[in-house]
Amino acid sequence: TVGAVAVDQEGNVASATSTGGMTNKRYNRIGDTPIIGSGTYANNHTCAISCTGHGEFFIRAVVAYDVSCLMEYKGYTLQKACEEVVLKKLVKFGGEGGLIAVTPSAEVALVFNSEGMYRASKSAGEETLVAIYKE
């Protein structure tokens, strides 16, 4: 699975996710990627999110929207909301994976509970970050 989140000069956020699914899948299984709210979500009031991992767990936990809700209704910061969902809630479900997120104020979060996540980010005026493992 691949994905991207961004905030532009007008403060608008957007997210996109794309996947080839799981190796040897059948029955026309689909994961969380195309399901708005589970694997992909964007809202200018909170953040934009793209998820990756074992999709069934992301669907059950409604991961992307849950992060947005924690920010909107409970006033969590982006990082806190992402960690609450990925490192606590999702782990209880047994779900492996992670997410990337950005707020309209250009705060970025790259959170995962697996051993690694291919990831990169770039903010205006800053160096490009590229990472794979828990570095």
Sites for another protein among residues 58-117 (CB under 8 A): 96-102, 104-110, 112, 114-117
Length of the chain (residues): 135
Q: How far is the CB of 105 from another protein (least distance, A)?
A: 7
Q: Out of 1, 17, 40, 103, pick the active-site residue.
A: 1
| Per-position x/- string for 8-47, each x denoting binding to another protein as judged by CB under 8 A, each - no binding | xxxxxxxxxxxxxxxxxxx-xxxx-xxxx--xxxxxx--x
For CA atoms 111, 66, 51, 58, the dihedral sign is positive
Q: How far is the CB of 104 from another protein (least distance, A)?
A: 7
Q: Would residue 1 show up in a list of annotated catalytic residues for this protein? A: yes
Residues 6 or more apart whose CB falls under 8 angstroms from that of 134 comprise: 115, 116
* Residue 3 and residue 16 in contact, taking contact as beta carbons nearer than 8 Å: yes
* Residue 78 and residue 87 in contact, taking contact as beta carbons nearer than 8 Å: no
Q: How far is the CB of 42 from another protein (least distance, A)?
A: 4
Among residues 87, 88, 91, 118, which is the contact residue for another protein, using CB under 8 A? Answer: 118
* Residue 76 and residue 46 in contact, taking contact as beta carbons nearer than 8 Å: no
- As annotated, the active-site residues are 1
